[in-house]
């Protein structure tokens, strides 16, 4: 009998976030590992849809998952004030209602995966087999973890060691597992000839509503005219700001492309020689990230120019990373020049495939 995985999340789909891409990419490989996958999420945005075709087109995959979009008669997303408060209230109420659809008698042989604190809390009390993917720290999460991590049916995946240390919990069933790359997407696209001095940045131009210092970084290329810099990402309001800066500085070697499709984005990565890895200077960015794009850069054999944050120091294959001090443009320039003097050092990219990652999650279910 086919094993059943339920992924229940307060995320919504389709969306332009790295989190939604990470979720769908992982679910694709659960299907490939012979699981029947059910995706449960709220229709809490005007673009939310439970139409599988729309989700497949957005994230560029063909595998069949069962999509369940639930109504969201709660204030988050409808009111433009007290957003954080309404997010927590709405998340709690939606999770409580949705998890009532599952019982131990009906679902004791199923597997559950979530990034929702309240889904974890409610399902753990039903003795259902659940894994929580932990991507950041919060006081609420810390409170819930202390309530449920003593239960045999609960396991936790941490993106890196620093997140696990932040919670400082006693021994519990857990796994430190970084992000991964969908190698199939790279294999299905004919590799472009690399442009020797092309540097690419891929990602949202805002993180938690904060800019990523790209405005300052653009100025480095006034003095690095032998290098080309391509920026891929949105929202459009931010990419348009960058376009205006490029015009003001007359940067003929900088190209701001905005958001592209997955295939177009991978084409841009494959034609590059360097990948830029930056973040806003907040605790989560400095300590807790494991960027999808880093593993995509590795898959495309890019040397990586990265801001020197502890979270980046924990990424694998450090031999291909060239660090610069945060907000130090001279340091950034020097890291690019250092990278240009060295060759990409080959890695076994299969170790970081999403297929390998999902197999490790499956093994955790059975521990």
Residues 304/342, Cβ–Cβ less than 8 Å: no
φ, ψ at 100 (rounded to 5°)? -65, -15
Residue 198 has pLDDT above 60, yes or no: yes
- pLDDT, tens only, 25-46: 999 999 999 999 999 999 999 9
Report CA-CA distances (Å) from 75 to 23, 50, 79, 253, 288: 25, 20, 6, 46, 29
Residue 55 has pLDDT above 80, yes or no: yes
pLDDT level of residue 312 (50, 70, 90 thresholds) = very high
231: left (phi over 0), alpha (psi -120 to 50) or beta: beta
Sheet holding 303-307, edge to edge: 254-258, 228-232, 198-202, 274-277, 303-307, 321-324
Residue 189 has pLDDT above 70, yes or no: no
Q: By three-state DSSP, how is residue 27 classified?
A: helix
Sheet holding 66-70, edge to edge: 66-70, 35-42, 3-8, 111-114, 129-134, 154-158, 174-176
**Is the Cα torsion angle 261, 264, 267, 272 positive or negative in sign?**
negative
Structural domains of the chain in order of their starting residue, each with its CATH number: 3-177 (3.40.50.2000), 183-340 (3.40.50.2000)
Residue 220 has pLDDT above 80, yes or no: yes
> Which has the higher per-residue pLDDT, 187 or 103?
103
φ, ψ at 155 (rounded to 5°)? -130, 155
Residue 211 has pLDDT above 70, yes or no: no
Q: To the nearest whole number, what is the mean pLDDT of the chain?
A: 93
The pLDDT, as a whole number, for residue 209 is 53
The pLDDT, as a whole number, for residue 279 is 81
Give CA–CA dist 49/43, Å, rounded: 7
Give CA–CA dist 161/169, Å, rounded: 13
The pLDDT, as a whole number, for residue 208 is 53
Residue 186 is encoded by which pair of tokens?
């790279």
- pLDDT, tens only, 258-268: 999 999 999 99
Give CA–CA dist 45/207, Å, rounded: 19
Residue 348 has pLDDT above 70, yes or no: yes
> Which has the higher per-residue pLDDT, 128 or 214?
128
Give CA–CA dist 215/213, Å, rounded: 5
User: Which of the residue ranges 281-295, 297-311, 336-350 would you say has the lowest mean pLDDT?
Assistant: 281-295
Percent of all residues in the chain with a pLDDT value above 70, rounded to a whole number: 97
The pTM of the full predicted model, rounded to 2 decimals, is: 0.94
- pLDDT, tens only, 134-187: 999 999 999 999 999 999 999 999 999 999 999 988 778 999 999 999 999 988
The pLDDT, as a whole number, for residue 183 is 95
Residues 34/68, Cβ–Cβ less than 8 Å: no
Output the CA angle 170-175-179, nearest 5 degrees: 135
Nearest to 116 by CA among 96, 146, 86: 96
The pLDDT, as a whole number, for residue 328 is 94
The pLDDT, as a whole number, for residue 207 is 64
Residue 187 is encoded by which pair of tokens?
């294999």
Scored b (16 or more CB within 10 A) or e, 271-288 reads bbbbbbbbbbeeebbbbb
Residue 62 has pLDDT above 80, yes or no: yes
């Amino acid at each position: 009998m086919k094993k059943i995985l339920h992924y229940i999340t307060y995320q919504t789909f389709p969306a332009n976030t790295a989190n939604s891409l990470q979720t769908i990419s992982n679910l694709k490989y659960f299907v490939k590992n012979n699981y029947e996958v059910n995706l449960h999420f709220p229709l809490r945005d005007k673009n939310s849809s439970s139409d599988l075709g729309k989700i497949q087109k957005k994230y560029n995959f063909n595998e069949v998952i069962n999509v369940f979009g639930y109504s969201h008669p709660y204030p988050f997303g409808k009111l433009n004030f007290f957003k954080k408060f309404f997010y927590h209230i709405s998340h709690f109420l939606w999770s409580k209602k949705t998890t009532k659809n599952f019982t131990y008698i009906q679902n004791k042989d199923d597997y559950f995966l979530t990034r929702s604190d309240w889904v974890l809390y409610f399902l753990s009390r039903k003795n259902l087999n659940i894994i929580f993917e932990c991507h950041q720290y919060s006081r609420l999460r810390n409170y819930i973890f202390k309530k449920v991590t003593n239960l045999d049916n609960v396991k936790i995946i941490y993106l890196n060691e620093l997140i696990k240390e932040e919670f400082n919990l006693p021994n519990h069933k857990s796994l430190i597992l970084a992000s991964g790359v969908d190698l199939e997407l790279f294999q299905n696209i004919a590799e472009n000839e690399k442009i020797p001095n092309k540097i690419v940045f891929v990602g949202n131009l805002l993180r938690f509503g904060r800019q990523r210092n790209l405005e300052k970084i653009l100025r480095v290329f006034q003095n690095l005219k032998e290098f080309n810099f391509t920026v891929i990402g949105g929202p459009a309001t931010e990419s348009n700001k960058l376009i205006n800066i490029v015009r003001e500085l007359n940067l003929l070697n900088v190209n701001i492309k905005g958001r592209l499709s997955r295939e177009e984005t991978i084409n841009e990565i494959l034609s590059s020689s360097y990948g830029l890895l930056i973040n806003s200077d907040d605790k989560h960015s400095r300590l807790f990230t494991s960027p999808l794009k880093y593993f995509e850069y590795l898959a495309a054999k890019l040397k990586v120019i990265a801001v020197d944050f502890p979270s980046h120091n924990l990424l694998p294959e450090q031999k291909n990373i060239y660090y610069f001090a945060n907000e130090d443009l001279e340091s950034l320039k020097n890291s690019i020049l250092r990278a240009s003097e060295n060759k990409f050092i080959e890695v076994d990219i299969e170790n970081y495939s999403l297929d390998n990652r999902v197999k490790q999650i499956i093994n955790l279910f059975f521990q």
